[in-house]
Structure 1
Amino acid sequence: MSVTYVIRGNLSEGQIEADVAQYLGWCAAGMPFRLHHVDEQLTGADKLYDVTVPIYIQFKKSTGLRSIASRPIQRRRVDESALQEIRRFRAQHDLPDDPTLFFELRKRAKNAPDLQHNILLEHNRPPISYAIYVAPLYLDRDKYWKDIFEGDRFRDDPWMWHESQIRHGWWLNSWISRFGRQPFLKGHISIAPHQRVEGHEHYYAYSEAGDSISWHSPEVLERGASRLSDFMSVRVRQLLTPGYELPSPEQCLGAAREIIETLDLGVDGVRGDGGPIEQLHQYGRWLWKEHQIRQVLVLGKRKILDEIRQVER
């Protein structure tokens, strides 16, 4: 029997992962850094970058819950379902719920050393590396596809950039807006895992606007916006403004090795003979294959980024 207050979407996690990874690459075209993901082959030029920021992403699809106002709950039951508890909690705390979107954590895979959530959490080590869940704020595939091709993604002016053109501070706002104003990136929630769990029966819930994030067992985590566009805009600002640390590939490789040891992942992909970026790439491919966590490497050259930062002083 179907549950009348649940709204099923028609997107798949595989589709979301492929589209977002490709879209981020499009957005970075022509900028003073690049976004490299595990589907791409490293080139000789990629191995010469001396600034690296790994971003680890678990892609999820959203499911909807109708509000209590539209589908009332008559009374609390001893065996009340987790989804009813989400509806009740959000209504009690005046969180947007018409509808509420949510996803559940993934079950522990056979022979996995830990729950996927805890593995993702361990990779969230700002400013050396970041880990986030990403899920669409859509339930409908047609709306999702529409926003992929909207916006200014293919504009050359004012985003066309060359190293010799670092002159004015307006470049920074242009580059940040490249990510911040894209409808497709605005259409995805971005949530950093915030605590370890013992089981998978936990839920992140949020509004269709990408704000008012709650965690069940119940807690309000964030009332403001937390979209993928917001997350990427902050990462770009950190790269291009003075005062933020620019991690080296060696630092990021060291962090990956600490994670492997902490979680006892049993992988030696970051201990090969290649350089640090190549070893990080190998680790990313292993992490995606074994745990479905996508690695995106933000790659830059310190000399160029420092020149831009000097303009911004």
Structure 2
Amino acid sequence: MAKVNRNSLRLDADFTEDTVGFAIEAFLAVLSFPRHRFTVEPFSRSKERWLGADARLLGHRIRGFRPFYMQFKRPSAYPDLSGAKVITDRKKLGLSVAPRSLFFPLRNKTVNQKCYQHNVLFKLQRRLSKHNLGNAAYVCPLFLDRSAYRLHLHLEALARWPRFWRTRPWDLEDVLMDAGGRTIKFDRIPVLAEHISIPPHDEVKNAKHNYSFDEAGKYLCFHSPKALPDGSSSLAEFLKKIAYDFLGENGKIAPDNAYQALRKLTDLGEEEESILPEIPPFSPDDPIGSWLSWGELLRQQYDIEQYAFVSWDDL
């Protein structure tokens, strides 16, 4: 059950950011796309991951990949009758507050961090877009109570069984792929449709800010305050766009070009100061390894998770 602060009427989710990441990672891990011979993988060298992604990535021949990045957030909420700044800001901007508004704060710097996590994610997203390499965003559930969400997810899965009992509850042809094109219907997978994705919209000078939105993940507001009506989408839409680019012409990073692509992403270029982690040492014979090591460094330093759509020769 969501935790209630009786003084401010604030509701806090009864799960952690790690719980959010684990749930999403589990769903992405079981997806497969045999028509196009690709999967979605955690893309780092971490030895702690239960999925064993390293073994898979090193045990197959990768034809190409497209990275994307998620920073998982845990939501809180205020009811519309609260006098909290999140509510008063939204009312001033004419944004929906009933019956409640969800929000999450930016993360402050730790002792060992030289930059705000938000600014790292912002810089990463901007450079990914500039060089057409992928995308990055905050990802936050649209629910506060873990038990209620699990029940909702379970019931949606059961509702699909009568039609798909001979195969699986989410059939590839009906759910994930359009019959004649490259559109992937992630929105029909409940756990993905129940999360909001928010690309960071600007740099900040401190972490005393929040992103807020309604219970449907709409009417986004950044609390300076500033309304961002087109600043969010569902996680399903976020993944759909990345997959569309991945399946398009020149949408994949080939192994032979992997290190050069990572250099393009992390090099200073025209910028005076880079706040992205430097590429750690790696073997010249293992260009994919440079991405795995860099993804692990990004996770360790800023809790930003690196994933990738991966195309295989021998899937």
> Where in structure 1 are there 5+ consecutive unaligned residues?
74-83, 162-167, 305-313
1:204 correspondence with 2:205: no
Question: More displaced, 132-141 or 105-114?
Answer: 105-114
Residue 49 of structure 1 corresponds to: 62
Residue 164 of structure 2 corresponds to: none
Residues of 2 paired with 1:108 and 1:226: CA distance?
27
Alignment of 1:24-173 (within 5 A): 24-28=28-32, 30=34, 32=36, 33-37=38-42, 38=44, 39=49, 40-43=53-56, 48-67=61-80, 70-71=81-82, 73=83, 84-97=84-97, 98-124=99-125, 125-126=128-129, 127-149=132-154, 150-151=156-157, 155=168, 158-159=171-172, 170-172=179-181
| Identical counterparts, % of pairs | 24
Residues of 2 paired with 1:193 and 1:224: CA distance?
8
Residues of 1 paired with 2:92 and 2:136: CA distance?
30
Question: More displaced, 116-125 or 152-161?
Answer: 152-161
Question: More displaced, 117-126 or 190-199?
Answer: 117-126
* SS in structure 1 at match of 2:218: coil
Contact map agreement 1:12 1:61 (CA 8 A) in 2: yes
Deviation at 1:266, TM superposition (A): 5.8
Question: More displaced, 200-209 or 50-59?
Answer: 50-59
* SS in structure 2 at match of 1:289: helix
Contact map agreement 2:108 2:207 (CA 8 A) in 1: yes
Letter in 2 for 1:56: Y
Change over 3 Å in CA distance of 1:276–1:223 after alignment to 2:
same
1:298 correspondence with 2:314: no
> Where in structure 2 are there 5+ consecutive unaligned residues?
162-166
Change over 3 Å in CA distance of 1:259–1:148 after alignment to 2:
farther
Aligned-pair RMSD on alpha carbons? 3.2
Question: More displaced, 120-129 or 148-157?
Answer: 148-157
Letter in 1 for 2:262: L
Contact map agreement 1:187 1:227 (CA 8 A) in 2: yes
Deviation at 1:45, TM superposition (A): 6.2
Match of 1:287 among 291, 298, 301: 298
Change over 3 Å in CA distance of 1:86–1:263 after alignment to 2:
same
Contact map agreement 1:47 1:275 (CA 8 A) in 2: no
Residue 194 of structure 2 corresponds to: 187
Contact map agreement 2:173 2:179 (CA 8 A) in 1: no
Deviations along 1:258-300, one digit per CA (max 9) or x if unpaired, are: 2799535564426443422221011111211222111102112
Residue 165 of structure 1 corresponds to: none
Residue 264 of structure 2 corresponds to: 255
Letter in 2 for 1:88: T
Residues of 2 paired with 1:111 and 1:216: CA distance?
26
Change over 3 Å in CA distance of 1:94–1:198 after alignment to 2:
same
Name the TM-score, length of structure 2 as normaliser. Answer: 0.78
* SS in structure 2 at match of 1:122: helix
Contact map agreement 2:70 2:305 (CA 8 A) in 1: yes
Letter in 2 for 1:253: L
Contact map agreement 1:180 1:232 (CA 8 A) in 2: no
Residues of 1 paired with 2:279 and 2:250: CA distance?
31
1:5 correspondence with 2:9: yes
Contact map agreement 1:123 1:129 (CA 8 A) in 2: no
Residue 213 of structure 1 corresponds to: 220
Deviation at 1:12, TM superposition (A): 0.8
Contact map agreement 2:66 2:246 (CA 8 A) in 1: no
Residue 308 of structure 1 corresponds to: none
